Amino acid sequence: MKNNFILVTGGAGYIGSVLTRKLVEKGYKVRILDSLIYGKQGIEELIDNSSVEFIKGDIRDEKIVKESIKGIDCIVHLSAIVGEPLCKKIPEAAKQINELATKKLIDLSKLEGVKRFIFSSTCSNYGTSDGIANEESDLHFLSLYSECKVHSEKYILDSKTDNFETCVLRFATAFGLSPRMRFDLLLQEFIRDALVNKEIILFGANYWRPLVHVNDISNACILSINGKTEKISGQVYNVGDDSQNYTKQDLAKIIQDKIPSTKISIVESKKDPRNYQVSFKKIKEQLGFSITKSAKDGIDEIINEVNNNNLDPQESEFSNMSKLTEKVNVY
């Protein structure tokens, strides 16, 4: 293993808590830096593992960041104020965390001799795309959330040197079970509405969105940690699968098939103008990436958990608009 000691920022989050588990299972040494906005449920079982170091701290704190990157081979940078609604609610903190702290982390990592830096970006940077967007397509940020992602992507790719390898992963919208669960993601939101309200209300029913399971996102991160330099450094990859581009109406109908009591109501609205279909050919061809779970599989696993009383979709902490975010301050 070339890159053995991995720092996962935001390692206690929805994606981070799945990724860190997989890394530990595969024999990596993992350090997690997280301010624990949503608590430590996602990594509770991991903290005592001898392969895991945990640092509770804020990515905007330079002293903490310097301590966190010491001895690290590769960083997977996930920590962020995630999603447009939350960025809108706390815009100054969002800009500081998502863009300014990201740039600082890059500079310090380069100085400290970190070999590889993987940045979690988003396919929502494509905004509204005509046709199918690929990694070369123009980016249209429609929100502060993706504006910070687009600016950070550019900074990261410009920071590449022979000794500092950089890679941008643009994740499709995630779904699936995680130890730090979220129900404010498109598919999960629809499932919750079908189960609780027996109705899915669609804004932009024919708008396209690509989806990807949280386990598969983690697999893509691991491929990027140890992929060959020429395949990784300076590269951008969309993370998902061509078969998983859906319109919102397609998704609602799949859920209705599984939960027949669901009514689908369509509302004309410009509430969320994002509409993009994405090509995932590059990651398949260059890194040999393939998904293990479709949206249908994700729907089944979540419905099962709810039906077995292991998960309450109405739990307010399962949303990034949770009251817990009120303690995120401007630095």
Q: Applying CB under 6 A, which residues contact ligand NAD?
A: 10, 12-16, 34-38, 58-60, 78-82, 97, 120, 122, 171, 173-174, 180, 182, 185, 320
Complex with ligand NAD: residue 203 or 266, whichever CB lies closer: 203
Separation between Cα atoms, residue 134 and residue 196, nearest integer Å: 37
Question: What residue number has its CB nearest to ligand NAD?
Answer: 13
Rounded to 10 degrees, the C-alpha dihedral 22/24/30/35 comes to 60
Closest contact distance (angstroms) between CB of 1 and ligand NAD is 24
Complex with ligand NAD: residue 91 or 266, whichever CB lies closer: 91
Closest contact distance (angstroms) between CB of 209 and ligand NAD is 10
**Of 48, 13, 44, 8, nearest to 28 (Cα)?**
8
Complex with ligand NAD: residue 80 or 278, whichever CB lies closer: 80
Closest contact distance (angstroms) between CB of 268 and ligand NAD is 26
Closest contact distance (angstroms) between CB of 246 and ligand NAD is 14
- 33: which residues sit within 8 A by CB, 6+ positions away? 7, 8, 9, 10, 11, 55, 57, 59, 64, 65, 68, 79
Closest contact distance (angstroms) between CB of 162 and ligand NAD is 27
Closest contact distance (angstroms) between CB of 155 and ligand NAD is 15
Complex with ligand NAD: residue 14 or 164, whichever CB lies closer: 14
Complex with ligand NAD: residue 57 or 266, whichever CB lies closer: 57
Complex with ligand NAD: residue 84 or 165, whichever CB lies closer: 84
Separation between Cα atoms, residue 326 and residue 324, nearest integer Å: 5
Q: CA of 226: how far to CAs of 116, 192, 231, in Å?
A: 9, 37, 10
In the chain, beta strands by DSSP E: 5-9, 29-34, 52-56, 74-77, 116-122, 128-133, 165-171, 173-175, 199-203, 208-213, 235-239, 245-247, 263-267, 275-278
Strands 5-9 vs 29-34: parallel, antiparallel or unpaired: parallel
